[in-house]
Amino acid sequence: MSTILEPSDDAGAFRHELYPYRGDAQFLDGALGFIREALEGEETVVVAVPPDKASLLRHELAKEPAVTFVDTATAGPNPGRHIAAWAAWMAERSGDGRPVRGIGETAWRKARNAAHLSELRHHEWLINRAFAHSATWSMLCPYDASDEDESALRSLSDCHPLIRRDGHHVRNASYLAADVYPFEALAAPCDPYQEMIYTHDDLAAVRSKTTQCASDAGVPQEGLAKLAVAVTEIATNSIRHGGGQGTLRTWTQDATFLCEFRDAGYISDIMAGRVRPTADQIGGRGLWLAHQLCDLVEIRSTPHEGTTVRLHMDVPR
């Protein structure tokens, strides 16, 4: 079992703050306040926000050397890659031992579908676990609440232990401090879908079937090559850790090709696939590769129901 580290807002612990704002003026007020606190404390700052927001901050900061802007596109659209990206960005800028602050605004309104939005929220919740005992940095998450979607704001608030108001952070009473993330149930496969049961002798057939189905759905050649690797890794994990066999389903839905793997295994590590493997690590690379190669990865795993892994590949419209 993985160790669950509870987040804290105590001094010396990782702080994860949600900052709801309305309009550019409020965005600048909160973000600049957070940055100036850092500069006064001789901390460095990493900013990962959409280009329009980055331009606003660059104009105000006048090339402040302690503030670094990173290209969020390098992490790609899959939220499963973002924790490793933040870990790398922070590590690059904490070499002198100074604490680092991050400002990360997720483009929530650009979520491609309900599954993508669900994984974005899960990522925000996992950040608290991934960095709970890191005293070297803290993160502010601006959120544009100008459309007054209270349900969306509440859902996002559940993933942040702290909320920033009037230049200060306060503990969030609605923060979801459970040991297990309350996933929404996966939607049923879209008819028509294809299904096959596979064992250790069927890896080539699994790879061939998914590649052909993906090609028929319109996945481009580059995507087919990536999918073939990811499919092999996940099917191999099913055979090794899921009782020697699994069930594959494939279908197309809303300009997305999906392949689903179900088996009787259980993934106890909630960070599985989200932490970059070390050079000398033996095993544990399958889910990591799937996240790097696919446009979205959904994982559901319980001791009683087994594991379901869904790989998403975008189909050009």
Residue 274 DSSP SS3:
coil
DSSP three-state, residue 260? strand
Residue 306 parent element (H or E): strand 306-314
Residue pointed to by tokens 């990493």: 46
pTM, rounded to two decimals:
0.90
Name the DSSP class of 6: P
Domain boundaries, given as residue ranges, for the chain: 16-171, 194-314
Where does residue 274 fall: left (phi above 0), alpha (psi -120 to 50 degrees), or beta otherwise? alpha
Instruction: Give the CATH class of 16-171.
Output: alpha beta
Task: Give the CATH H-level superfamily of domain 194-314.
Answer: Histidine kinase-like ATPase, C-terminal domain (3.30.565.10)
- 16-171 and 194-314 have identical folds: no
85: Cα within 13 Å, side-chain hemisphere: 21
pLDDT by residue, tens only, the chain of 317 residues: 333 334 444 445 889 999 999 999 999 999 999 999 999 999 999 999 999 999 999 999 988 999 999 988 887 889 999 999 999 998 888 767 788 999 999 877 777 788 998 999 999 999 999 998 787 789 999 999 887 667 777 888 899 999 999 888 999 999 988 888 988 889 999 889 999 999 999 999 999 999 999 999 999 999 999 999 999 999 999 999 999 999 999 999 989 999 999 999 999 999 999 999 988 877 779 999 999 999 999 999 999 999 999 999 999 97
**CB atoms inside a 10 Å sphere around CB 39:** 15
| C-beta of residue 80 within 8 angstroms of C-beta of residue 293 | no
Tell me how far apart the alpha carbons of residues 275 and 147 are, in angstroms, rounded to a whole number.
Answer: 34
- Distance separating alpha carbons of residues 238 and 106, to the nearest angstrom: 32
